[in-house]
A and B are shown apart, each in its own frame.
Chain A
């Protein structure tokens, strides 16, 4: 068994860190797998926080005219719930998948810029911590001239402008205090993190593919990663500018969005949604990719219409930049704009439908293995269709003027984000669990999780459809008894707690299986893509030698032939091949140089929160501290040695 070689001790001041295990190995890692795992755990933590925020909201809404939360607390909770779920839960969990899987699916050792990858992660951590530090340092209160009966408690000292921060309500006059600044600057840092990831993935996919891995032979998950990276790259700069405008308006006296100075609050809506709409495709495309991997594997036949699914994905991404004002149908836009965006929104339903029909075509005629990943993938199709269809009803502009800003919209996006993105993500977590940990998860617990989650989800978000159409407005802290909305709100709250229960089942399964799960066989799912041709858990060097790809689903074709009817027939050589791959995978014959760990990404990353605090508190010393960190981080990074010279201490046992 090849030992991982140790670098020489050098006297260079910029000596690269060298730990392979332990705390420091995680802090200085540039290994895409470790980074993926860190993203995964941190994002899951925020998923729990966001879920807790949701449960608190639902307790308040379980009854009419409830006083469980004050208005200030409620507004802070729904703002943080939305912001957390979008930026601190779903996006980074998707990042966890991209990070871990992308190099494996294209046969690479790592991403194009490993230190940049680490930077993304640490920037994201810095941004998330900065945002949440509002609960410790932030202040919020009544608008200028308004009165509150009691002081805002700690739970209310958080941004309360909504995750969409509409102006001028999120400006300094109507949201005084520092909480909204934490929001604007926190989001700014998070945006930079994702932008940096986007460059990395685009270049990785274009340049780091192994021999024979032509673009049209890449797995669909890789294609969706590619599309997401473009969406990020082109939408994040827009919100970055918009957030600068918000911070400048709040801190430096400009009036981009304030009518008193000649500004335009509708400009914020346009800029936000120019980012915001591509953002929702960023949230769902990874799940599309995951489901496109699971369905063929568990149906034992190829993905139906591979090219159609790839092109539809890019079609959705492209048209996704042309529908943003459908979030503004009731706002101050002209009927011509309404008609134009209504039509473009209808157009985007077409490629989405194409994907759904192709997924159905995949399972049709298959031999369906109904294990947990497959259940989630199938559940995804069911739930996403509901969410997608309610989305089509939103494209009917006059009807949308009744639906917008009501719980009908909340139902729509939770069906596509929870029933869609999150179901896809859970499917992926179960599917790739053996690859990451080398163990199998517990199937019974997985099934229980799935059913509880499906029931909980429908009980929570189903009634929101008619609650919305029959009068429940969004972002309402209380609703009146006479609106007769109490009964279904109570059901929704009960559903939400069932969801909480299902998550506990998942966590129990994860913790138990990581410790005591059965050792995973080499190819547990009889899969199709090349990440399954290497041992589990993934060796740190990924592939012992670069795979040579001959076709789409290369691994499947190495194991299976087709008979005259087109049915799959396992080759006699298949089992031997698996043994050979496992043996080879654990024992690389050549010296493999891996990208070295580095201190500088984390140093650079933590410079930004200092700048953030400096802006809010007008502190020169904090600004200087931040700039010093940025300078040390960037220069250290540029000058540190690229590769340590190793002594070859290869030991064979």
Chain B
């Protein structure tokens, strides 16, 4: 019996140790490393609650483990007193939790409304969810892009979001919590980054076969760099590709393979069919593609163009049955879309 009491203690300390050493280093999707004011507000609220929860945990576990050890049956122990309850205790352990919760409730409600408010002079970006990629539109500038959302640092951004098909959600853990993208309705989310760096985003709402490949990037730039980016985005794609070998062949492959059915390249082709795919005008300026699940390099592009459904099951881009040479040329062409 002696052993059992101590044994329980051992399990408990293992648990605590595990917990203390737990934090993962350098997790790009870490919600515990806020990098902007909204995420920081949430973070403060979370840690406040967390430490209260830890205190309650130690209290309860402490009483539990102590009781198991101290009150365990041992030879010669008398029968226990048959106590039925204690009204004072009942009152206390009802009222004290109510007070603690009320104390946390106040900043919680305040933060809810704070985070929902539309910030003044915010940059408006529209986020449209598709199976399985994010489309971004900048209404002030008339720009459409995909997978990488570029924002200026230290500036509030107001996301107006909806979905083109099923429920999705948009989550940039270092900048704010997540919000659903709903077909037929608009939802809103605020973002603001302190520094110029790249953040990871992901769709958190189960949306079908390639849900786990529906990711994103938020690139925060200095005001100067942001303006450069905007100006570049406004430009159409180059039509004259003579100086780059294979590029013209690639452009022909693009046309023959039917890419214009779904993809837009500004100034060259408008979309022909009624399915919307990522706008490829500045494809080469983005460091990720395929729902931001792959790095934009030759190897990955080859894998993707060989058989898209193998990379993203259920994708609306079919296997185009391209030859190796065709793929090589196409990749060169895509590389000119800076």
- Report A's interface with B, CB cutoff 8 A: 70-72, 75, 142-143, 145-149, 162, 166-169, 174-175, 259, 264-266, 299-302, 304-308, 330-332, 335, 338-339, 342-343, 346-347, 349-350, 353-354, 356-358, 360-361, 363-370, 378, 381-382, 385-386, 389-390, 392-393, 395-406, 451, 454-455, 458, 462-463, 465-467, 469-480, 482-485, 487-488, 560, 562, 565-569
Residue of A72, A299, A330, A406 ringed by the most chain B CB atoms within 10 A: A330
Contact A143 B131 (CB under 8 A): yes
CA A72 – CA B315 in complex, angstroms? Answer: 12
> Which chain B residue lies CB-closest to A566?
B81
- Hey, which chain A residues are within 8 Å of B319, CB to CB? 147, 149
Distance in angstroms between the alpha carbons of A370 and B49 in the assembled complex? 34
Asked if residues B57 and A350 are in contact (CB atoms below 8 Å), the reply is no
Are A174's CB and B41's CB within 8 A?
no
A566, B83: Cβ atoms closer than 8 Å: yes
Q: Which residues of A contact B178 (CB under 8 A)?
A: 330, 401-402, 404-405
Given A370-B1, A470-B32, also A305-B309 (CB < 8 A): no
Q: Beyond A146-B315, A365-B81, A478-B212, is A331–B180 a contact (Cβ under 8 Å)? A: yes
B64 touches A360 (CB 8 A): yes
Q: How far is the CA of A466 from the CA of B53 in the complex (A)?
A: 15
15 extra A-B contacts, CB within 8 A, seeds A392-B101, A463-B18: A71-B314, A146-B316, A149-B313, A174-B165, A304-B86, A306-B84, A330-B169, A339-B113, A353-B97, A367-B79, A389-B57, A469-B32, A475-B211, A484-B25, A485-B27
Q: With A332-B180, A399-B45 known to touch, is A568 a contact of B80 (CB < 8 Å)?
A: yes
Query: What is the bound-complex CA distance between A175 and B167, given in angstroms?
Result: 13
Question: What residue of chain A has the Cβ atom nearest to residue B60's Cβ?
Answer: A385
Task: Return chain A residues, CB-CB under 8 Å to B82.
Answer: 301-302, 560, 562, 566-568
Question: Does A462 lie within 8 Å of B19, measured CB to CB?
Answer: yes
Q: In the complex, which residues of chain A have a beta carbon less than 8 angstroms from the beta carbon of B101?
A: 346-347, 349-350, 392
Partner of B166, one of A174, A366, A454, A465: A174
CA distance A159 to B123 in the complex (A): 41
**Segment touching A, from B134-142, B149-157, B202-210:** B202-210
- When C-beta atoms are compared, the residue in chain B nearest to A570 turns out to be B79
Please measure, in the bound complex, the distance between the C-alpha atom of A330 and the C-alpha atom of B98, giving whole angstroms.
Answer: 25
23 CB contacts below 8 A, A to B, read A71-B210, A71-B313, A143-B314, A149-B309, A149-B319, A174-B208, A299-B71, A331-B180, A339-B108, A339-B109, A343-B109, A346-B104, A346-B105, A360-B63, A365-B81, A366-B80, A367-B80, A385-B57, A396-B46, A396-B49, A398-B41, A462-B15, A473-B212
- Inter-subunit contact A350/B31 (CB<8 Å): no
Nearest-Cβ distance from residue B313 to partner chain A, whole angstroms: 4
A299 proximity list for chain B (CB < 8 A) = 71, 80
Q: How long is the Cα–Cα vector from A367 to B71 in the complex, in angstroms?
A: 6
B4 touches A370 (CB 8 A): yes
* Contact residue among A70, A147, A169, A390 (Cβ-Cβ distance under 8 Å from B318): A147
A contact residues around B26 at 8 Å (CB): 484
Interface 9-residue window, one of B87-95, B226-234, B240-248, B279-287: B87-95
Tell me the minimal C-beta distance from B66 to chain A in angstroms: 9
B104 to chain A, nearest CB (A): 7
In contact, B204 and A405 (Cβ under 8 angstroms): yes
B192 CB–A CB distance under 8 Å: no
The reply to whether A402 and B53 form a contact with Cβ atoms under 8 Å apart is: no
* Residue in B42, B307, B310, B315 whose beta carbon sits within 8 Å of that of A401 in the complex: B42
Residue B176 CB within 8 A of the other chain: yes
- Bound-state CA distance A356–B212 (Å) is 38
Expressed in whole angstroms, the Cα–Cα distance for A167 and B101 within the complex equals 34
Evaluate contact between A168 and B183: CB separation under 8 angstroms: yes
A385 to chain B, nearest CB (A): 5
Contact A169 B206 (CB under 8 A): yes
**Does A169 lie within 8 Å of B313, measured CB to CB?**
no
Q: How far is the CA of A458 from the CA of B1 in the complex (A)?
A: 23
Interface residues of B in 144-179 (CB under 8 A from A): 165-167, 169, 171, 173, 176-179
- The answer on a CB contact under 8 Å between A335 and B29 is no
Chain A's closest residue to B84 (CB) is A302
Closest 9 CB pairs of A and B: A401-B177, A471-B29, A259-B184, A405-B204, A476-B212, A149-B310, A475-B206, A169-B166, A305-B85
Contacts of A361 in B (CB 8 A): 83, 85-86, 89
Our pick among A403, A466, A474 for the contact of B23 (Cβ within 8 Å) is A466
Q: How far is the CB of A515 from chain B (nearest CB, A)?
A: 28
Residues of B within 8 A of A143 (CB): 131, 165, 208-209, 314
Residues of B within 8 A of A146 (CB): 131, 209, 309, 314-316
- B62 → A minimal CB distance (Å): 10
B310 to chain A, nearest CB (A): 4
Known: A405-B169, A566-B82. A364 touches B179 (CB 8 A): no
A142-B183 in contact (CB<8A): no
Contact of A264 among B56, B165, B184, B317 (CB under 8 A): B184
CA distance A145 to B104 in the complex (A): 48
| In the complex, chain B residues 17-57 whose Cβ is within 8 Å of any chain A Cβ | 18-19, 22-32, 39, 41-42, 45-46, 49-50, 53, 56-57
Minimum CB–CB distance from A356 to chain B (whole Å) comes to 6
What is the CB-to-nearest-CB distance from B278 to chain A, in angstroms, rounded to a whole number?
A: 16
B223 part of interface (Cβ distance < 8 Å) = no
With the chains together, A478 CA to B213 CA distance in Å? 8
| In the bound complex, CA of A539 to CA of B64 (Å) | 38
Inter-subunit contact A354/B183 (CB<8 Å): no
- Counting chain B residues whose Cβ lies within 8 A of the other chain, the interface size class is 35 or more
Which parts of B88-144 form the interface with A (CB within 8 Å)? 89-90, 93-94, 97-98, 101, 104-105, 108-109, 111-113, 115-116, 131
Are A484 and B184 neighbours in the complex by a CB distance under 8 Å? no
Q: Which residues from B are CB-within-8-Å of A142?
A: 209, 309, 313-314
- CB-CB < 8 A to A458: which residues of B? 11, 15, 18
Task: State the CA gap A390–B23 with chains docked (Å).
Answer: 17
Query: Distance (Å) between the CB of A132 and the closest chain B CB?
Result: 22
A566 CB contacts on chain B under 8 angstroms: 81-83
Question: Do the beta carbons of A471 and B173 come within 8 Å of each other?
Answer: yes
**Bound Cα distance A353, B100 (Å):** 12
> With A361-B89, A458-B15 as given contacts, are A396 and B206 in contact (CB-CB < 8 Å)?
no
Tell me whether B204 and A406 are in contact (CB under 8 A). yes
Complex interface: chain A residues within 8 A of B238 (CB): none
Chain B residue at minimal CB-CB distance from A175:
B208
Q: Whose C-beta in chain B lies nearest to the C-beta of A454?
A: B11
Contact with A along B299-334 (1 / 0, CB 8 A): 000000001111001111111000000000000000
What distance in Å separates the Cβ of B176 from its nearest Cβ neighbour in chain A?
7
B185 CB within 8 Å of chain A: yes
Are B80 and A301 in contact, CB atoms less than 8 angstroms apart?
yes
A360: chain B residues at CB < 8 Å are: 60, 63-64, 67
B192 to chain A, nearest CB (A): 15
Point out the residues of chain A lying under 8 angstroms from B104, CB to CB.
346, 396
Cβ-closest chain A residue relative to B215:
A480
Q: B residues within 8 A CB of A562?
A: 82
| Residues on A with beta carbons closer than 8 Å to the beta carbon of B220 | none
Inter-chain CA distance A399–B108, complex, in Å, is: 9
Kindly state whether residue B182 has any CB partner on chain A within 8 Å: yes
Give the distance to chain A from B30, nearest Cβ to Cβ, in Å: 5
Pick from B1, B50, B203, B314: contact of A147, CB under 8 Å:
B314
In the bound complex, what is the Cα–Cα distance between A365 and B101 (angstroms)?
A: 30
Q: How far is the CA of A390 from the CA of B54 in the complex (A)?
A: 10
Pairwise interchain contact B45-A396, C-beta atoms closer than 8 A: yes
Asked if residues A368 and B83 are in contact (CB atoms below 8 Å), the reply is no
In contact, A392 and B182 (Cβ under 8 angstroms): no
Q: Is there contact, CB below 8 Å, between B111 and A398?
A: yes
- Residues of chain B with a CB closer than 8 A to A395's CB: 108
Assembly CA distance A454 to B10 (angstroms): 12
Asked if A353 and B116 make an inter-chain contact with CB atoms under 8 angstroms apart, the answer reads no
A401 contacts which chain B residues (CB < 8 A)? Answer: 42, 176-179
